[in-house]
Amino acid sequence: MHTRVGIVGAGPAGLMLAHLLHQKGIESVVLDTRTREEIEGTIRAGILEQNTVDLMTETGVGERIKRVGSVHHGIELRFGGRGHRIDFDDLTDGRGVTVYPQHEVLKDLIEQRLADGGEIRFGVSDVEVEGITGDTPSIRFTEDGAEEVLHCALVAGCDGSRTQTRSLIPHPDVRQDHFRQYPFAWFGVLVEAPPSSEELIYAHHENGFALISTRTPEVQRLYLQVDPEDSVDNWSDDRIWNELHTRVAGDDVQLKEGPIFQKSILPFRSFVCEPMQRGRLFLAGDAAHTVPPTGAKGMNLAIADVYVLARAMGEFLNRGETAALDAYTTTVLPRVWRAQHFSWWMTSMLHRMPGSSGFDLNRQLAELDTVTRSRAGRTLLAENYVGTPLE
């Protein structure tokens, strides 16, 4: 088998990269160990930056997002029993975010990829990338019991946070791993109920953080800060609702209850791999970096990576120019670190740190008051939340 770009991983990064390359006339093959049903059936939240929505619309995969996605023009920061709205329209010249789950993005990209005649090999196994330091890398894999070899000019490692391709960049000789584990987790529930708010609510409370989010008009996603060693078995439905009402207290908000049909605990960590390339291998998305979900940056960073990578691969494969590919890591890392900072800032400002004192709690409240009271503070938050231009 021969193609120009071999892509390991059919997540947002891998599928969007294949789509962008196709628009440049560049063939690629996407490989994933999961079946199509597993990929499309893994339910994940999604908040799309304006850049991501614009790029998907401009490249022909944004029709359903525009039709069924929920555009949000602000968020609420809640502390001291009062809500403080961050008005994206006013602060970012009309930009916003769109609530549209990640698995729906994947469905759109898979459907378009197959409609374009592109190859996605689902359910393969024993994936092994070889020869990345030479001119003719290859990817070995097993499909339907038979070993196959995919020869390509370039390889993209888009295989998520449990990546195997990252290990091809030797650590610590070549690769540095920047890592932070946070001392808390999110306890998330899915609820059959109408939305409690038209926009997301980020709540600071002495008991810990809470987030009121949404999936669809009928299903809501709610989160509570908990200890990472906690268990879902410790949380009855009554306890969940009591704690949500406590942390999101106030006369101006009323949480709408309903049956809870899913509970899970999500640990927090930040990670950056540097460099994001070696030879003919280039990492993108969660294979190269992960962020806490507080800033809603994960999927958007993956799309921003492959926007740069597709352009660089196009210059190399269509014109023989190497400068953009050589500079891939140095081009994308500043955005990655800005997203890390924003995610850390939102996380540290809103969560109760274990062992924190009254001084720490009041310092957080003063920071939130400073940010929401100042137009400059609100603008800084809004501009980072809706996303800075891809260029």
Residues annotated as catalytic (active site), given as ranges = 72, 202, 293, 297, 385
Total residues found in the chain within this entry: 391
Please, are residues 284 and 302 in contact by the beta-carbon 8 Å criterion? yes
Please, are residues 45 and 23 in contact by the beta-carbon 8 Å criterion? no
**What does the H/E/C string look like for the chain?**
CECCEEEECCCHHHHHHHHHHHHCCCCEEEECCCCHHHHHHCCCCCEECHHHHHHHHHCCCCHHHHHHCEEECEEEEEECCEEEEEEHHHHCCCCCEEECCHHHHHHHHHHHHHHCCCEEECCCEEEEEECCCCCCCEEEEEECCEEEEEECCEEEECCCCCCCHHHHCCCCCCCEEEEEEEEEEEEEEEEECCCCCCCCEEECCCCCCEEEEECCCCEEEEEEEECCCCCHHHCCHHHHHHHHHHHCCCCCCCCCCCCEEEEEEEEEEEEEEECCEECCEEECHHHCEECCHHHCCHHHHHHHHHHHHHHHHHHHHHHCCCHHHHCHHHHHHHHHHHHHHHHHHHHHHHCCCCCCCHHHHHHHHHHHHHHHHCHHHHHHHHHHHHCCCCC
Dihedral (CA of 163, 168, 171, 177) sign: negative
Task: Provide the CA 238 distance to its chain's centre, in angstroms.
Answer: 31
- Phi–psi pair at 362, nearest 5 degrees: -70, -30
How far is the C-alpha of 218 from the C-alpha of 133, rounded, in Å? 51
